[in-house]
Amino acid sequence: MGDPLVGIVMGSDSDLPVMKDAADMLEELGIAYEMVISSAHRAPEKTAGYARDAAGRGLKAIIAGAGGAAHLPGVIASLTVLPVIGVPIKSGALSGVDALYAIVQMPAGIPVATVAINGAKNAGILAAQIIGAGDPDMRGRIEKYKESLAAGVEEKDARLRTMGAEKYLSS
């Protein structure tokens, strides 16, 4: 698929089951990506190097997911001019609310586009939309994806009308 356009970074391998949703979405839309484990706290030098080199290596956006005291997306955003999408991961005692607050409450000047807790699929779509802003072919693929969502709603609506609620729920 060529050189990666999106970097998917996660704080730990325990984030991988969630972050794979972003990779799956990018694959569906035909976008090359790379996946990296790094950590703002456990591997700060590696994280800084990755963020600093990302634009020069041709990446167009970074998706960064972390749980707990989730500083990974913000630290990366502070060291690159690429758009950074943060994914709060549901983990530990606070079930992702800690990560959500840590990622979304960035100081003015350093934005991180934050998706829902465990919302890695939307992070993939948003990265595609960022790339699509300057790429008509990519925009076409996103339009087709949205049309498929609408078609799915129509199909469910038609089934419900035909079957009624009881049969629908037991089918």
Which residues contact ligand RP5 (rule: CB under 6 A)? Answer: 11-12, 14-15, 39, 66-68, 89, 91
Q: Least distance in Å: CB of 129 to ligand RP5?
A: 25
Cβ proximity to ligand RP5: between 89 and 115 the closer is 89
Compute φ and ψ for 111, nearest 5 degrees.
-75, 145
Q: Which is nearer to ligand RP5, 39 or 129 (CB)?
A: 39
* CB nearer to ligand RP5: pick between 29 and 112: 112
- Contact assessment for residue 71 and residue 40, using Cβ atoms and an 8 Å cutoff: yes
- For residue 64, the minimal CB distance to ligand RP5 (Å) is 9
CA atoms within 13 A on the CB side of 83: 16
Shorter beta-carbon distance to ligand RP5: residue 5 or 19 = 19
Other Cβ atoms less than 10 A from the Cβ of 26: the count is 24
Cβ 154 to ligand RP5, closest distance in Å? 38
To 10 degrees, the CA torsion angle through 77, 80, 76, 16? 110
Kind of pairing, strands 84-89 and 6-10?
unpaired
